[in-house]
Amino acid sequence: MNHRSLIVACAQLGPIQRAEPRAVAVARMVRLMERARARGAEFVAFPELALTTFFPRHYLERIEDADAWFETSMPSDETAPLFAAARRLGVGFHLGYAERVIEADATGRARPRRFNTAILVSPAGDILLKYRKVHLPGHAEYDPRRNVQHLEKRYFEVGNLGFPVIRAPMGALPGVNLGMMICNDRRWPEAWRVLGLQGVELVALGYNTPSLNQEAGGFEAHHLRVFHSHLSIQAGCYQNACFAVATAKAGTEDGCELFGHSIIVNPQGEIIAQAGTWDDEVITAECDFAMCTLGRTTIFDFAKHRRPEAYAPITGQVGAVEPPVWGDPGA
C-alpha cells in the first residue's frame, strides 16, 4: 500500500534579542533547516515572528516606530538566504513574520496595514499559502498593571484571510492538505474546526508564549502554561483528525522568558516528538496521513455526525450571555 507520509520538523528558535539583526536570525534558521534535512525532514516549521524579538512586549507611542520589525516584502534581501537554502535542500517550510503592506481596507482605501503573518513555502520557493493571525491576545494601550506588556492589538490588525487550507505537493507527495494558525489561535477550537472542515491533514503553527502569566488577573501555576499549550494542540489534532507541527520561539528575550517544548502531534492527539531545550533545536517525526482517515471516517466523520443547526451561538455571538434563572415552582 503506498503510504502517504511526510517527515516534518520543528525548527525551534532560542531567544532573539532586540538588537539582533535579521541576518543573524536567518543564519540560525538556515543551520536549523540543514540539520532538519540531515534528519530526513521534508517540511520545516519555524516559529511565529521568527525574524525578530517578540516586539509586542515593547510599548511604542508611535506605531510607525515599530516598522523596523516588519517585513515589507517576502522574500527580501534578508530572508533570501532561507529561500535559497530551501531550494538547495529541497525542503518546504513555514515561516511566521510581521507583515506591513499597502492594501485597501474594508472602505476600499489603500493604506499601510500591519499583520502577524505566516506563510507556507514550497521547496522551489513559491508561497503556497498565507495566513494572518485572527486571535490577537493582550491589549492595544499601555497597561501599567502588567509587568510585561502584550501589545499585539496595538501593532497588528485582525487577520482578514480566514483560516485557509491548500492541497499542495510536499516531500514526495503530490498533494497534502496544509493549513496554518498562529500562537493564540491554538487556544480557540473554532480555528481548528474551520481547518478541519476543509480536510486539513497537517497544521503548522508557531508561538511565542511567556512562561509566566503576564496578566495581573490571578495566580496560574507555572507548570500549567505548557500543559495548556499542549492540551490545546492535542485536542485540536484529535478533534479534527490531523497532525500539527508546533514550533516555539523560546528562552529569555529582554528579560522575558518564553517557554519552548515544541511538539509534533498526531491525529490521536499523541505527542510524537517534543523539544527538550529552550534554545535552537530540531525535532522530527514521520506523519503517515493514513492516520487522519480513522478519525474522519468514524468519530469525527463531520458529514455524518455534526449538527450545525444546534451551533448558532458559535458564530451568532461574541461574548457569553447570562443564562435564564431557574424559578423554584415550590416557592
Which positions lie near ligand ING, rule CB under 6 A? 137, 183-184, 187, 207-209
Per the residue annotation, which of 71, 99, 133, 292 is the catalytic one? 133
Q: Tell me if residue 48 is catalytic.
A: yes
Longest dimension (CA), the chain: 78
List, in order, residues 6 or more apart from 23 with CB less than 8 Å away: 78
User: Omega into 21 within 30° of 0, i.e. cis?
Assistant: no
Smallest gap from residue 172 Cβ to ligand ING (A): 33
Can 183 be counted among the known catalytic residues?
Answer: yes
Output the nine-digit C-alpha cell for 135: 486571535
Nearer to ligand ING, 24 or 212 (CB): 212
Would you tell me how many other CB atoms lie within 10 Å of the CB of residue 306?
13
CB of 45 to ligand ING, least distance (A): 16
Minimum Å distance from CB 115 to ligand ING?
14
| CB nearer ligand ING, residue 138 or residue 269 | 138
- Cα dihedral sign for 292, 294, 296, 297? positive
Residue in the shown chain whose Cβ atom is closest to ligand ING: 184
Q: Which of 10, 99, 152, 183 is catalytic?
A: 183
Closer to ligand ING at the Cβ: 52 or 208? Answer: 208
- Comparing CB distances to ligand ING, the nearer of 183 and 291 is 183
- Kindly state the smallest distance separating residue 185's Cβ from ligand ING, in Å: 8
State which H helix or E strand residue 283 sits in.
strand 281-288
Q: Closest Cα partner for 152 from 112, 109, 183, 189?
A: 183
Note if 133 is an active site residue.
Answer: yes
Q: What are phi and psi of 95, to 5 degrees?
A: -135, 130
Give whichever of 97 and 289 is closer to ligand ING, judged by the CB atom. Answer: 97
Indicate the residue among 141 and 288 with the shorter CB distance to ligand ING.
Answer: 141
Q: Are 190 and 169 in contact (CB under 8 A)?
A: no
CB of 204 to ligand ING, least distance (A): 16
Mapped to the 3 state alphabet, what secondary structure does 165-212 carry?
EEEEEECCEEEEEEEEEEHHHHHCHHHHHHHHCCCCCEEEEEECCECC
Q: How far is the CB of 208 from ligand ING (least distance, A)?
A: 5
Distance of CA 28 to the CA centre of its chain: 20
Which amino acid appears at position 11 of this protein?
Answer: A
Using CA atoms, how far residue 90 sits from 36, 202, 206, in Å, is 11, 19, 21
Q: CA torsion angle for 271, 275, 281, 286 (degrees, to 10)? A: -20
DSSP 159: P
Of 34 and 215, the one with the shorter C-beta distance to ligand ING is: 215
42, 48, 253, 281: the catalytic one is 48
Kindly state the smallest distance separating residue 220's Cβ from ligand ING, in Å.
8
Give every CB contact of residue 99 below 8 A, 6+ residues apart in sequence: 70, 71, 74, 114, 115, 116, 117, 132
Residues labelled catalytic: 48, 133, 183
